Chains A and B, each alone.
Chain A
């Protein structure tokens, strides 16, 4: 007996009679929002990744001190990756008796794979975008090269033994390698001319860069293929690891998007579970009759589960469609902010939306639905015979399992998932017990209360199990919404704090000690505000406690890249702004040979307080003892240092100074004066980087705002699912009360009191739970400083009381109007 027509007919009747409205709504919101979020964050992520990829001019780069085997490039070709190569070296250029140490890049045809170059032929106002480097025989240079060598466009410059014609001034180059303090004036040439320069010889200091771009899956396949073959001097860089300042913004945003989508699913899941409970209760009678007529348990199960599967498929498909339109609208709205080319939505994400819709529906709906299987046929004779609840373990196990999988997918960390799960379970049990105690307490005071309050409270006490689960459901919903809201606010605030409007947009490097007083005076005269002047000594970390660093670092780690090159060492008297000591202490007065190490580097190199570090500075050794570990925000465009020494420690080494400052666009001319007065000084414009960074953050902020609305919408379905799930019982009870002579306003008042109390209690519990979770989340997942969100302490209970109270009042308003007659007609 498995007639599909009966399934469809029953489904159709229930849908038409409004039996399934809330369920459909909840599922629709879950699927719509999760599809929209998945699609949106997927597209946004790829758009941003593509944008960020400009910083590497590719998605993936292999760096090497010698050419890599051709088989690697062939393999990359087989994976379908686009390729380009650059070779970089320093070369002394000599023209008109002037000498200049320039950074030279020889680029192959397809360079850059991501992003673009900018050139000009006269002044900075008329920049042209270039998607390729200079042709063979030509060179593009930075303006500084022309000034220093007294050249004009069209003149010839000699690199090694090769003569090149300077045709353009280069104003923007996406992938400047190395750390930004070591920039020398740049020259770009074609890779075909490299051999003829005669510079490339065994032992020469040429760095080779192999750029690749393509689909993420192909990239990661190639990456895992090539990684084991790298030698010690070769490295892989990809956009997520290389630029720490952008990478971490991206990472956090991804984490937030992931978090939001889980929260929306959990909220909707709660709504689905509640709606299904009502559905189940309303189908107990029909099921009992079916059983009497000879249906087996498995028939009944099949009948209802297949209805849900059909319903799930139809609604999920609709949700996917709506989700698609939703994110399409979002991208339309954000059009001005986004780069010209936005990544295409991926069909896989749509499919995932469909799948996750089904999983959410079945995960949350199956447990209550399974109760129908256990309906006893004798219910036909005795209506009050309720089926035994399906084993509590199964009921909660399934939804809990689903939530766990979601969390695990989000954290990718098993211990953390287990911790969150256990904590959540304990928290819910504890809060449930707390509510139970509260209800018991209220029961004692019941006789002393006025009529309205007594009736309202009695409403809560009548079915304390249902009340507790309702309060917990609202608590979870409020917590999820509070999390979504606070994390969003703190994230955005945090970003804005890092990038104030007047964030430094220039760096000045290579300032000599004797120029310092004059330069400082010039800065004050021109009203330029800058950071302090940091002394910079270039040095390499070689030993930790007498052990060579190469033996300590793991491959591809941050520590490794830091030990491969010279670091900028500085010394300051006071802790620089936005640096925070996480272990040890700052200098005591007069302390010598102390060093403060940046936290992440210290972790990567396993440096601890009290360790002895050996540096080599210009061939001379420098030893220092680790005095403190520092955390700093790489996102700030301020001078940041891995190593800060105690004052005086670097006294005897050759050093220059560096500072950062803010210059508004209308004061750019001041730069010319500075460049003329201090020819040796390098001024670096980071404004462009800053602007790009700000755009990305604005995009993220906007996206995150919209995500919040989804969470809000899901929250409302929970509210109404919860209220409707009690509707039948309320209709019945109020009919009895009205028969006994209760008037409408009494019923209304008791409803308001009842729902407001539920909302209020949920709000208070939500404060406790969300503060605890926020604390854990900030410490572990998002790495923002935690501070209690006081306004939530007041807002959540008030919002809870008001929202649940008024929605409850509105949702059951028809209850007060039930004609008492229904009692006689037995509903």
Chain B
């Protein structure tokens, strides 16, 4: 099914984002032309404040650009409304965040079931259970985030991201809140799942060794490709 998009899954043209502030217009991103191929793994690196998070939020349709266009899986994200983009996210995209972003009131299992439930998938429970077993949390299904350690929470988040078998996975500094040892196991897990699911991976990181594990590295500096 991936061949449908002739190898390209994300294509941006002249992508830019600026915001108006009290001291004039601030250009966060400028003239980004980017082509990402199916199954690629890409690391986005750069100093803090260089625009990494902004870039992936645009690519994932969490925010709208000021200029330029984004094609994702052959569809123009920039021409859709918010609910249209929500449908795209649910269908093609998985997320992992630095601060996990699990729903506090729900159990690990319920958190992982969530994206499937949004699709009205009848098999949600089984699929979620299976994936939690895969990330080594079969004993923690009914625990809430508060009862889990940071590393465990991030594993739940990984399970939640992969449970829909997304075409693209975005990860914004996924190890930023973890110690290096736990971070390393999470990264291993991330790449394992990525290979198993043949997912396109777009990873924001500070960690040079982590960036090295990706096929390609893009460096951002002050909102532009360096």
* A518 interface residue per 8 A CB criterion: no
Task: Report the minimum CB–CB distance from B151 to chain A (whole Å).
Answer: 14
Instruction: Decide: A733 and B87 in contact? CB cutoff 8 A.
Output: no
- Scan A705-744; emit 1 where CB is below 8 A from any B CB, else 0: 0000000000000000000000000000100111111111
Task: Report the minimum CB–CB distance from A739 to chain B (whole Å).
Answer: 6
CB-CB under 8 A for A821 and B57, given A447-B125, A461-B105, A744-B83: yes
Instruction: Decide: B86 and A743 in contact? CB cutoff 8 A.
Output: yes
Instruction: Decide: A746 and B106 in contact? CB cutoff 8 A.
Output: no
Instruction: Decide: A451 and B125 in contact? CB cutoff 8 A.
Output: no
- Cα A746 to Cα B104 with chains together (Å): 20
- Cα A746 to Cα B87 with chains together (Å): 12
- Scan A461-497; emit 1 where CB is below 8 A from any B CB, else 0: 1110000000000000000000000000000000000
Instruction: Decide: B115 and A741 in contact? CB cutoff 8 A.
Output: yes
* A823 interface residue per 8 A CB criterion: yes
| Contacts across chains A and B counted by CB atoms under 8 Å | 75
Q: Kindly list chain A residues whose C-beta atoms are within 8 Å of the C-beta of B115.
A: 740-741
Q: Kindly list chain B residues whose C-beta atoms are within 8 Å of the C-beta of A463.
A: 105
Q: Kindly list chain A residues whose C-beta atoms are within 8 Å of the C-beta of B57.
A: 821, 824
CB-CB under 8 A for A743 and B101, given A821-B57, A824-B172: no
- Cα A710 to Cα B86 with chains together (Å): 44
* B120 interface residue per 8 A CB criterion: yes
Instruction: Decide: B97 and A823 in contact? CB cutoff 8 A.
Output: yes
Task: Report the minimum CB–CB distance from A447 to chain B (whole Å).
Answer: 7
Q: Kindly list chain A residues whose C-beta atoms are within 8 Å of the C-beta of B95.
A: 739-740
- Cα A739 to Cα B172 with chains together (Å): 13
Beta-carbon contacts under 8 Å, A722-781 to B: 733, 736-746
- Scan B167-198; emit 1 where CB is below 8 A from any A CB, else 0: 00000100000000000000000000000000
Task: Report the minimum CB–CB distance from B123 to chain A (whole Å).
Answer: 12
Q: Kindly list chain B residues whose C-beta atoms are within 8 Å of the C-beta of A559.
A: none
Beta-carbon contacts under 8 Å, B81-108 to A: 82-83, 86-91, 93, 95, 97, 99, 101-106
Interface size class of B (residues with CB under 8 A): 35 or more
- Cα A461 to Cα B53 with chains together (Å): 33
CB-CB under 8 A for A826 and B82, given A451-B117, A740-B89, A746-B118: no
- Cα A743 to Cα B160 with chains together (Å): 18
Q: Kindly list chain B residues whose C-beta atoms are within 8 Å of the C-beta of A740.
A: 89-90, 95, 114-115, 118, 160
Instruction: Decide: B105 and A742 in contact? CB cutoff 8 A.
Output: no
* A825 interface residue per 8 A CB criterion: yes
**Cross-interface CB contact of A824 among B53, B87, B125, cutoff 8 Å:** B53
Q: Kindly list chain B residues whose C-beta atoms are within 8 Å of the C-beta of A384.
A: 145-146
**Cross-interface CB contact of A739 among B62, B105, B106, cutoff 8 Å:** B62
Q: Kindly list chain A residues whose C-beta atoms are within 8 Å of the C-beta of B89.
A: 739-741, 820
Q: Counting chain B CB atoms within 10 Å of each CB, which of A461, A745, A824 scores highest?
A: A824
* A91 interface residue per 8 A CB criterion: no
- Cα A827 to Cα B47 with chains together (Å): 21
Beta-carbon contacts under 8 Å, A769-827 to B: 819-821, 823-826
Instruction: Decide: A741 and B118 in contact? CB cutoff 8 A.
Output: yes
Task: Report the minimum CB–CB distance from B125 to chain A (whole Å).
Answer: 7
Q: Kindly list chain A residues whose C-beta atoms are within 8 Å of the C-beta of B105.
A: 458, 461-463
Task: Report the minimum CB–CB distance from A81 to chain B (whole Å).
Answer: 68
- CB-nearest residue of chain B relative to A742? B118
Task: Report the minimum CB–CB distance from A353 to chain B (whole Å).
Answer: 41
* A454 interface residue per 8 A CB criterion: yes
Task: Report the minimum CB–CB distance from B159 to chain A (whole Å).
Answer: 13
CB-CB under 8 A for A458 and B118, given A739-B95, A824-B57, A825-B53: no
- Scan B119-148; emit 1 where CB is below 8 A from any A CB, else 0: 110000100000000000000000001100
CB-CB under 8 A for A454 and B63, given A462-B103, A741-B86, A743-B87: no
Beta-carbon contacts under 8 Å, B147-166 to A: 160
Task: Report the minimum CB–CB distance from A795 to chain B (whole Å).
Answer: 32
Q: Kindly list chain A residues whose C-beta atoms are within 8 Å of the C-beta of B87.
A: 741, 743
- CB-nearest residue of chain B relative to A462? B105
- CB-nearest residue of chain A relative to B125? A447
Task: Report the minimum CB–CB distance from A537 to chain B (whole Å).
Answer: 79
Task: Report the minimum CB–CB distance from A384 to chain B (whole Å).
Answer: 7
Q: Kindly list chain B residues whose C-beta atoms are within 8 Å of the C-beta of A824.
A: 53, 56-57, 62, 97, 172
- Cα A738 to Cα B88 with chains together (Å): 11
- CB-nearest residue of chain A relative to B153? A384
Instruction: Decide: B91 and A458 in contact? CB cutoff 8 A.
Output: no
Secondary structure call for the A interface = helix
- CB-nearest residue of chain B relative to A745? B83
Task: Report the minimum CB–CB distance from A746 to chain B (whole Å).
Answer: 7
Instruction: Decide: B120 and A743 in contact? CB cutoff 8 A.
Output: no
Beta-carbon contacts under 8 Å, A434-470 to B: 447, 451, 454-455, 458, 461-463
**Cross-interface CB contact of A737 among B97, B104, B114, cutoff 8 Å:** B114
Instruction: Decide: A821 and B63 in contact? CB cutoff 8 A.
Output: yes
Q: Kindly list chain A residues whose C-beta atoms are within 8 Å of the C-beta of B114.
A: 737, 740
Q: Kindly list chain A residues whose C-beta atoms are within 8 Å of the C-beta of B120.
A: 451
Task: Report the minimum CB–CB distance from B101 to chain A (whole Å).
Answer: 5
Q: Counting chain B CB atoms within 10 Å of each CB, which of A733, A737, A743 scores highest?
A: A743
- Cα A746 to Cα B90 with chains together (Å): 13
- CB-nearest residue of chain A relative to B64? A819
Instruction: Decide: B90 and A819 in contact? CB cutoff 8 A.
Output: no
- CB-nearest residue of chain B relative to A447? B125
CB-CB under 8 A for A736 and B103, given A454-B117, A741-B118: yes
- CB-nearest residue of chain A relative to B99? A826
**Cross-interface CB contact of B106 among A458, A741, A821, cutoff 8 Å:** A458
- CB-nearest residue of chain B relative to A450? B120
**Cross-interface CB contact of B62 among A451, A742, A744, A819, cutoff 8 Å:** A819
- CB-nearest residue of chain B relative to A386? B146
Instruction: Decide: A733 and B103 in contact? CB cutoff 8 A.
Output: yes
Q: Kindly list chain B residues whose C-beta atoms are within 8 Å of the C-beta of A820.
A: 62, 86, 89
Instruction: Decide: A462 and B62 in contact? CB cutoff 8 A.
Output: no
Instruction: Decide: B117 and A743 in contact? CB cutoff 8 A.
Output: no
- Cα A597 to Cα B97 with chains together (Å): 83
Q: Counting chain B CB atoms within 10 Å of each CB, which of A447, A740, A744, A823 scores highest?
A: A740
**Cross-interface CB contact of B83 among A743, A823, A825, cutoff 8 Å:** A743
**Cross-interface CB contact of B63 among A733, A737, A819, cutoff 8 Å:** A819
- CB-nearest residue of chain A relative to B61? A820
Q: Kindly list chain B residues whose C-beta atoms are within 8 Å of the C-beta of A741.
A: 86-91, 93, 115, 118-119
Instruction: Decide: A738 and B101 in contact? CB cutoff 8 A.
Output: no
- Cα A447 to Cα B128 with chains together (Å): 14
Task: Report the minimum CB–CB distance from A77 to chain B (whole Å).
Answer: 74
Q: Kindly list chain B residues whose C-beta atoms are within 8 Å of the C-beta of A733.
A: 103
Q: Counting chain B CB atoms within 10 Å of each CB, which of A737, A741, A823 scores highest?
A: A741
- CB-nearest residue of chain B relative to A383? B99
- Cα A458 to Cα B103 with chains together (Å): 11
- Cα A662 to Cα B107 with chains together (Å): 76
Task: Report the minimum CB–CB distance from A296 to chain B (whole Å).
Answer: 28
Instruction: Decide: A458 and B86 in contact? CB cutoff 8 A.
Output: no
- Cα A820 to Cα B117 with chains together (Å): 18
Q: Kindly list chain A residues whose C-beta atoms are within 8 Å of the C-beta of B103.
A: 462, 733, 736
- Cα A744 to Cα B97 with chains together (Å): 22
Task: Report the minimum CB–CB distance from A748 to chain B (whole Å).
Answer: 11
- Cα A660 to Cα B114 with chains together (Å): 78
Q: Kindly list chain B residues whose C-beta atoms are within 8 Å of the C-beta of A451.
A: 117-118, 120
Q: Kindly list chain A residues whose C-beta atoms are within 8 Å of the C-beta of B88.
A: 741
Nearest 3 Cβ contacts at the A-B interface? A741-B90, A462-B105, A743-B83
Contacts A819-B63, A820-B62 known; 14 new A-B pairs at CB < 8 A: A451-B120, A462-B105, A737-B114, A739-B89, A739-B95, A741-B88, A741-B89, A741-B119, A819-B62, A820-B89, A821-B62, A824-B56, A824-B57, A824-B172
24 contacts between A and B (CB under 8 A): A447-B125, A451-B118, A454-B117, A458-B105, A462-B103, A462-B105, A737-B114, A739-B62, A739-B95, A739-B101, A740-B89, A740-B114, A741-B86, A741-B88, A741-B90, A741-B93, A741-B119, A743-B87, A745-B83, A820-B62, A820-B89, A821-B63, A823-B101, A824-B97
Residues of chain A having any CB pair with chain B under 8 Å: 384, 447, 451, 454-455, 458, 461-463, 733, 736-746, 819-821, 823-826
